[in-house]
Chain A
Amino acid sequence: MTRLAALLGVAVFAAGAAEMNVVVEGRAEQGLLQLNVPTPGIATSSFRSRLQDGLTHRIRYTLTLRQEGQDTVLLTEVLQSEVVYDLWDEVFVVTHAEAGRVRRSRVKTVDKVTALLEKPRFRTAVPVRTLPPGRLVVEVRAEVNPVSEEVLNRTRQMLSPPPSDAENRAARGLLGSVARIFVNESSASGGAEAFLYRGAPFVVVTGGAP
């Protein structure tokens, strides 16, 4: 996995990103499409160990919906989950934000946080009747603690090569230009990780109200 690349927001889904096949449930809720996509393993042990540090932890789920066998993307939906541990109340506040809606849960244990994060619900604003006939497939990309563009920009500045002698910049030798800076990239990435979940083809259950 490209650890610093993950930090810089590039190639997060390059070779090495965790991929998993999952079973997706699609249903109509008040005529609108709702998708339940399990994301097992998204709360890694390192992520879980940091949950009680009092800081905000984020997971950004990006769902794409396609018709089976087609490349055309029918829908892109972004769901962002945040977990904050309240140091005084000793509870986790888990917030899911999606397309104009916010859902919030307060739970006591890391296991319950994990359960919430591994079962994201995508409540889209797409009427089920407008979907094409046949089976659909979804893909969910999940980024754990993604780094904001602002932080990325500032980080680029900090990681730029240290000033060096211009006369020695081009010098090549048997060992060329050797170490210039000690940077533990995994540390710099702040644990940023990416996952890819591929859903099996499914049919939307339209038993609810039209």
Chain B
Amino acid sequence: MPRLLRHPQHLPAALLAPLWLAAAAARAQAPEPVIEEEVAEEVAEPAGGDGPAVAPRYVVDAVEVRGNWKTADAVIRARVDLRAGEFLDEEKLEVSRLRLVATGFFRDVTTKLERGGARNHVIVVFQVTETVPIPIVEGVFLGFSQVTPLFAGLSLVDNNFLGKGITVGVGGVASPRQQAIRARIIEPSILGSSLGLRARLLFNNGQEPIALGSSATAGGTVSYRRVGGSGGIMLTEGWVGRFAMDYRFELLWGELRLVPGASRPPRLLPGVSRLSTLTLSFERDTRNRLFVPTEGSVLRFAAEGSSALLLSDYEYAKFRAGYEALLPLRRLWSPLAEHALSLRLEAGYIQSGLPTGGESGAPFFEEFYVGDTSYFRYQRNSLPRYFGMNFAPFNEYGDALFTVGGEYDFPIVSSGSSFLYRAYLYGAWDVTEVTRVRDVTARRLRGRLFLDHFTPTFDAGIKLDTLIGTFTFSGSYAVDLIL
């Protein structure tokens, strides 16, 4: 039975009062809601039956999946919330369809009913059209800096590995002296439940310069290797929240070659050491879409602990929280419906623990770095780290992070072709401060905060949503590479 709808609540009450009063009086005299039968065309009722007049209440005889040649039937059925013998619930059917669409495995998913074995028994058909089974490029990294003539990297992911619905991703980035490799596997939904599993392997072979005086590189070098992995569970709660718990273990090898007088060297135990951490994280994401969202917000929080209790040689706790909100421009002026204006805030802090047989504080690659959150800037002395690898000469890390930024996206294509769905020009700004709390408390940075790292950075470019994925071309990065 359809709901009877009426929405006068958003109208100016005072102006409508006379009409409402009149309507209320008319209704008071009216009988209870009635059903009017209008026979637009005579149709014979089924013989001997008093079948339902509106939507017949169907019983599901079977659920069939058609059109899948790569994705396993079980992967699809695990996301279908309908079973044989149940009464058909169309909302469940639609949610199941959307769940299949959201996997990204299919270009199209449609549903229909077919006659079942008896009257009002149906076969529910999911007709799917699979996407081209190629890995998706997650990231392409390319650049150079004062300390490396070239670095390049690539990250690929297959969200439906061998048709099993499992995400498998590999990536790597390398320069002549530094290399990093990552591999990950994610089962986003175990048997269609809200519980997921993920695991990751990592390898880093790095070397970073140490500053001396005004030189970013004259103080020596720190060489290190990281080998390890992590595993964790994810729990999707409600419609926007996701909890996760991950355990990570790494074997570290470090070597410091310091020139006398070198400034504070990066924190890393010499020789072999262990890093063992437990991370709890929460994410609440209400953004209305993945690519250039126009409404909603995302809140992230993560707390990571490393302790001798976990057999770690490092004692610290790391907290990080971030919030990004989209301003609802559509509500201000409808022509701006496809424009996106976002603001973001992020803060982090690393609390060093008691050095109970180990090192107090996080190894340097776990600390905050200004390039990770800020945009590109001229002379790029703070490139972002790729897979934890720093290719810039600037390697001052901190235990406190604060960043604020924003982005504006101007639509240039909002209803494109079958290949180019949407395109935007964007402009973004950011102010980031990464520092050490003890420096701030000692006021050694007083007056420098806004002049040193606390400088605004900008970016502008173009974003494309295409059949083969979404792309962001960063103009400032390209300019920076050329100049």
Interface residues of A (CB under 8 A from B): 1-5, 8, 10-11, 13-16, 31-32, 50, 53-56, 58, 60, 62, 72-78, 80, 82, 84, 86-89, 91, 93-95, 97-108, 112, 116, 124-127, 129-130, 147-148, 150-151, 153-163, 165-168, 170-185, 187-188, 190
Contact = CB atoms under 8 A, between A and B. Distances in A.
B353 interface: no
Nearest to B131: A182
Nearest to B127: A53
Given A168-B386, A179-B471, 8 more contacts: A2-B415, A5-B289, A84-B54, A102-B2, A125-B27, A156-B296, A174-B473, A175-B140
B477 interface: yes
B414 interface: yes
A156 B296 CA distance: 10
Q: What DSSP secondary structure best describes chain B's contact surface? A: mixed
A179 B470 contact: yes
Interface stretch (B13-21, B67-75, B438-446): B13-21
Contact of B294 (A5, A94, A151, A168): A5
Contact of A171 (B106, B136, B375, B385): B385
Given A16-B414, A87-B114, A89-B51, A80 B3 contact: yes
A163 B196 contact: yes
Contacts of A160: 240, 242, 283, 285, 287
Interface string B176-195: 00000010101010000000
B131 A112 contact: no
Given A93-B53, A126-B19, A14 B338 contact: yes
A168 B91 contact: no
B184 A76 contact: no
Contacts of B11: 73, 76
B101 A183 contact: yes
Interface string B80-113: 0000000000110111011101101111111111
A163 B188 CA distance: 8
15 contacts: A53-B111, A55-B113, A104-B38, A104-B54, A105-B38, A108-B41, A108-B43, A130-B22, A156-B286, A159-B290, A163-B244, A171-B386, A182-B469, A183-B104, A185-B421
Contacts of B171: 168
Interface in B32-47: 33-41, 43, 46
Q: What DSSP secondary structure best describes chain A's contact surface? A: mixed
Interface stretch (B115-123, B213-221, B259-267, B448-456): B115-123
B56 A74 contact: no
A104 B1 CA distance: 12
B155 interface: yes
Given A160-B285, A181-B159, A188 B36 contact: no
B4 A178 contact: no
